Amino acid sequence: MRAPKVIISGGGTGGHIYPAIAIANALKEINPEIEVLFVGAEGKMEMEKVPKAGYPIIGLPIAGINRSSMLANLSFPRKLITSYTRARRIIKDFKPDVAIGVGGYASGPLLLAATMLDIPFLIQEQNSYAGVTNKFLAKNAKKICVAYPNMEAFFPQKKIKITGNPVRKDILEVRSKRNQALAHFGLQSDKKTVLVIGGSQGAKTINEAVDGGLTSLVNAGYQVVWQTGKLYIERALKTSEIFKGQVYASDFIYEMDLAYAIADVVVSRAGALSVSELCLAAKPAILVPLPTAAEDHQTKNAMSLVQNHAAILVKDQNAREELIKQTISLLQDTEKQGELSTNIYQLAKPDAAREIAEEVLKLVKNL
């Protein structure tokens, strides 16, 4: 009997890509013979990150709707039709037993083609507010794995399974890696560290707040690991030049397990992946939700922690004035750090990737 073939579609941001890779890894752990093919959007970060994780990927020319310029959307129908046609060809060539959609541009045409070609598929929704693509595809999905309760507002209740968000396995093992992390980032063992992550593409408000507050952080006796995103890295490197050995700045951190290992406090956006990783790493966090996220879902993600006394929230509009003060205050308050760390770990779902992989394989068995 041949091993199952699985196709995984979606991407656009790290919040879609890394859960997808975690699911693929879990499938391979269950059965190393499983064949996995990714389908992403041309020019998006999955075309770089997925091959780095060891998986093949094919790109579609799909793009999202541009809400700020209707003229920019004139080519959307053509891209959608081309992407759907290519997706059908990919499915016919690869012959998957089952498909997985993780949200993002490429999920739409791929899972639409899967529906038309009678390939069963599962949706994985990371956020507390369902994305447009996943809501549209839900009626044809066999199973919908979610991270938050009350998702029947978006999906048929009988199809929902609460699994949590899948994260990279190395995030589960950060506690033993502090010395390795200190060496990797070139920082000092006798100082507390704040980790700043604005999502895979950076966060303008957080970057500006940190840029203006580095002197205060360093003068207070702390050190910083700062993921800036590509748009801010040049400025960040200039600012951090005078703090050699105390500030590590990079546009993207691949070794997130080491970043969490070194962190005493984390400053972060409240994307679903970041929230799930913080829960598993059990790190005291200050969350600055992206206010322009669809239906303000990042604030909803953050509030799911705040209401459980598991994180601190700073509004984006207040970040430039408040973020550094709140960060230093938390770094100084060991008792508060312990409370947040304990409470956030209670919300962790360490087996999410395997649970989702098992649901995927049930669909194969049910063929």
Residue 240 is labelled as binding a ligand:
no
15 is in an annotated binding site: yes
Sequence-separated (6 or more) residues with CB below 8 Å from residue 237? 249
Nearest CA among 117, 161, 166 for reference residue 140? 117
| pLDDT attached to residue 106 | 83
- Residue length of the chain: 367
Instruction: State yes or no: 341 annotated in a binding site.
Output: no
| Residue 272 assigned to a binding site | yes
* Percentage of residues in the chain having pLDDT higher than 90: 71
Identify the band that residue 11 occupies on the pLDDT scale cut at 50, 70 and 90. Answer: confident
pLDDT surpassing 60 at residue 240 = yes
The answer on pLDDT for 301 being more than 70 is yes
For the domain 169-345, what is the CATH superfamily, name and number?
Answer: Glycogen Phosphorylase B; (3.40.50.2000)
User: Higher model confidence: residue 228 or residue 63?
Assistant: 228
Q: Read off the tokens for 60.
A: 């579609």
pLDDT above 70 coverage of the chain, percent? 94
Render the burial of 117-143: b for 16+ CB within 10 Å, e for the rest. Answer: eebbbbbbbbbbbbbebbeebbeebbb
The answer to whether the annotation marks 277 as part of a ligand binding site is yes
pLDDT for the residue numbered 69:
55
Average pLDDT of 148-166? 93
Residue 355 pLDDT > 90, yes or no? yes
Residues 83, 106: contact at Cβ < 8 Å? yes
CA distances from 199 to 16, 108, 144, 162 (A): 11, 23, 25, 24
* CB-CB contact of 343 with 310 (8 Å): yes
Predicted local distance difference test score (pLDDT) of residue 253: 92
Is residue 298 marked as binding? yes
Q: Is the pLDDT of residue 344 over 60?
A: yes
Q: Report whether 14 belongs to an annotated binding site.
A: yes
Instruction: Quote the distance between the C-alpha of residue 170 and its chain's center.
Output: 14
- Mean pLDDT, rounded, for 134-142: 92
**Any binding-site annotation on 111?**
no
Give the model's pLDDT for residue 75. Answer: 62
Question: Has 179 been labeled as part of a binding site?
Answer: no
Question: Per the annotation, does 100 bind a ligand?
Answer: no
Check if the beta carbon of residue 121 is closer than 8 Å to that of residue 98. Answer: yes
Contacts of 320 (CB under 8 A, 6+ apart): 205, 208, 209, 212
Q: From the CB of residue 63, how many other CB atoms can be counted at a distance below 10 Å?
A: 19
Is 275 labeled as ligand-binding? yes
Question: Which position has the higher pLDDT, 132 or 196?
Answer: 196
pLDDT of 209 higher than 90: yes
| The predicted structure's pLDDT at residue 68 | 58
Of the listed ranges 14-18, 29-33, 258-262, the one predicted with least confidence: 14-18
Specify the higher pLDDT residue, 367 or 236: 236
Q: Residue 117, annotated ligand binder?
A: no
Q: Do the domains 5-165+350-365 and 169-345 sit in the same CATH topology, yes or no? A: yes
Q: What is the value of pTM for the model shown? A: 0.84
Mean pLDDT over the full length of the chain: 91
pLDDT-derived band at 260 (thresholds 50, 70, 90) equals very high
Residue 283 CB burial class (10 angstroms; 0-12, 13-18, ≥19): buried
**Mean pLDDT, rounded, for 277-297:** 92
Query: Is domain 5-165+350-365 annotated with CATH 3.90.550.10?
Result: no
Predicted pLDDT of residue 294: 75
pLDDT band at 89 (very low <50, low <70, confident <90, very high): very high
Q: Which residue has the tokens 């490197």?
A: 237
The pLDDT value recorded for residue 64 is 63
How is residue 166 written in tokens?
A: 């899948």
Q: Is 140 annotated as a binding residue?
A: no
Task: Return the HEC string of the chain.
Answer: CCCCEEEEECCCCHHHHHHHHHHHHHHHHHCCCCEEEEEEECCCCHHHHHHHCCCCEEEECCCCCCCCCHHHHCCHHHHHHHHHHHHHHHHHHHCCCEEEECCCCCHHHHHHHHHHCCCCEEEEECCCCCCHHHHHHHHHCCEEEECCCCHHHCCCHHHEEECCCCCCHHHHHHHHCHHHHHHHHCCCCCCCEEEEECCCCCCHHHHHHHHHHHHHHHHCCCEEEEECCCCCHHHHHHHHHHHCCCEEEECCCCCHHHHHHHCCEEEECCCHHHHHHHHHHCCCEEECCCCCCHHHHHHHHHHHHHCCCCCEECCHHHHHHHHHHHHHHHHHCHHHHHHHHHHHHCCCCCCHHHHHHHHHHHHHHCC
Is the pLDDT confidence value at 354 over 90?
Answer: yes
Each domain of the chain, given as residue ranges in start order, spans 5-165+350-365, 169-345
Residue 200 reports pLDDT greater than 80: no
What local confidence, expressed as pLDDT, does residue 3 receive?
87
